Amino acid sequence: MKGRVLVADDEKNMRWVLAQALESEGFEVVQAADGKEALAAIGEAEPDLMVLDHRMPKPDGMDVLRRLRAGGSTFPIIMLTAHGNVEQAVEAMKAGANEYLTKPFDLEELKIAIEKALKVRGLATEVERLREELDREYDVEGIVAAEPRMMDVIENIRKVAPTNATVLIYGESGTGKELVARAIHQLSERADRPFVSVSVGALPETLLESELFGYEKGAFTGAMTAKPGRFELANGGTLFLDEIGDITPGVQVKLLRVLQERRFERLGGTRSIEVDVRVVAATNRDLQQLIADGTFREDLFYRLNVVPVTLPPLRARMSDIPLLVAHFLDKFNAGAKKISPDAMEALATYQWPGNIRELENTIERIVILTQGDEIGVDDLPMEIRLNSRSCVPASGDFTLPDEGIDLEEVELDLVRQALSRTGGSAPKAAKLLGLTSKTLEARMQRLGL
C-alpha cells in the first residue's frame, strides 16, 4: 500500500472517481461527504494525505483546513474547487494547503500532486529523524559521528575537556582538528572565555613570534603601537595552535618556555607577562619522525603530547558519510533535497582524500548546482562519478557512461585535486601525478590554471 488518502467532497460521483483512480494506483482511500465527516475521519483513519473540496457543507473546506493546521496536523492537504481563482488559491496556500487544483482537472495531474506531496513529507520526516539522531547521539559540539573509532574520540574529548591538560590532535588535513579543539574548549570550564586559533605553519618565523607573543612599540619598523599576542588574547581560555609540526626551532624554544613557565615577554619588551592559557595543538605530520630528523624538539613534543587524540581519515569511517551528508544538507538549507541511492553509494565509496572538508565542499557545490529535488549520480563531481559503480562495474572493466566522458574535464579535475592535496605546490602535484614539473606546468597553462 502506497499510503492512506482521505477524500472529502460533497459530490458522490467525484468521490467515487477519485477513489477508483487512487485505489488503482495502490492507495487506500477513505471517503467523507462533508466537513464534519472529514474531521471525524481524521482521528480514526490517520490519513497520510487529504484531498479536500473547497466548498462543502458543515463546515467548508477552508474551515476544515484551518482547524487541522491550528490543531497541529502536518499531513499534506490538496485543495479542490470548481470555483477557483487566484485569491482563493493564495488563501488556501497561506492556510497550509500543499497544493491547489481547479475542477475539472486531469487525474494524472492529481496523482502527480499526491506523489509529490507524499515524497516531500517523507523527506521532511527523514530529515527530522536524522536531525533528532544527530542532536541525541552523534553531535558533540558540532562533531557528527557514529563510527566506533570516532565514538572513542568523543569519549576521550569528554574526559579531557574538564581538565587543564594540554592536548595534541593528530589527523590528516580536513579531518576536523579545529572542530575537536573547539569542542574541548566548549566542554571545559573555560567555555565562557576566549577561544583563539592560529595556524602557526602558515606564518614565517618573525611574524609568528609577534603573532603569538605580541610586540612593544618600536620593536621593529612599523610598530607604531604595542600589540598583544595570541597568548594574551586567549588568557583564561584556550589557544589552538594548528600545524604545530611546521614551526621553526627558534619559535619552538619560546613556545616551550611558555608551556613550562606560563610567562613570556613581548617582542622588543622586557616585562614578563603571566598568562593562564590551555593549549591545544594539532598536526598532520609525524612528530616522532621530525624528532628523529632533528627538526622538532623532543622536550616540546612531550609538553604538547600530554593527551594525544587521533582523528581517523574519512575513508576509515565510511559509515558516517550518510550522517555527514544529512548534516551538511541541513547546514546549506537543503534538507528537503533527496539523495538517490546510487548517488549515496558513490559518495559512500569514494576515498575522500580531502576528508570531511572535501565532503562539505562537495555537498555545498551540489546544493548550489542541482536544480531538482533529487541529487543523482550525474550531479556529483566527475572524480566521484568515475569512482561510482555506475561507471565501474564489479568486473573491474571500465565502462563509459552513455553520455561519454570529457577527457579534458577529467584531466582538469585531477590536476586541481593534486594541487589541492599539495597545498598548491606544482612540483609536489607533479610528483603525485607521475609527471615532470615542466610537463605539469605545460598542462596547467593549456588548461588555464
Evaluate the omega torsion of the peptide bond into residue 194 and state whether it is cis, within 30 degrees of 0. Answer: no
Alpha carbon distances (Å) from 89 to 9, 38, 92, 206, 237: 17, 21, 5, 67, 56
The domains of the chain are located at 3-132, 143-312, 314-405, 406-449
Inter-helix orientation angle 86-95/61-70, to 10°:
20
* Residue 127 confidence (pLDDT): 59
Q: Tell me whether domains 3-132 and 143-312 share a fold.
A: yes
Task: Give the pLDDT confidence of 22-46 residue by residue, as tens digits.
Answer: 999 888 999 999 988 989 888 788 8
| Single pTM value for the model | 0.58
The rounded distance, in Å, linking the Cα atoms of 337 and 123 is 8
DSSP-assigned letter for residue 311: P
Mean pLDDT of 214-224: 84
Alpha-carbon dihedral angle through residues 243, 300, 169, 350, given to the nearest 10 degrees: 50
As assigned by CATH, the class of the 3-132 domain is alpha beta
- For residue 6, give the amino acid letter: L
Q: How many CA atoms within 13 Å lie on the side-chain side of 330?
A: 19
Question: Which is more confidently placed, 80 or 420?
Answer: 80
- For residue 158, give the amino acid letter: R
User: Could you tell me which CATH number the domain at 406-449 has?
Assistant: 1.10.10.60
Residue 392, phi-psi category: left (phi > 0), alpha (psi -120 to 50), beta (remainder): beta
As assigned by CATH, the class of the 314-405 domain is mainly alpha
* Residue 334 confidence (pLDDT): 61
Task: Give the pLDDT confidence of 153-190 residue by residue, as tens digits.
Answer: 999 999 999 999 999 999 999 999 999 999 999 999 99
The rounded distance, in Å, linking the Cα atoms of 398 and 245 is 41
Inter-helix orientation angle 205-213/249-261, to 10°:
20
Instruction: Please determine, looking at this structure, whether the domain spanning 143-312 carries the CATH number 3.40.50.300.
Output: yes
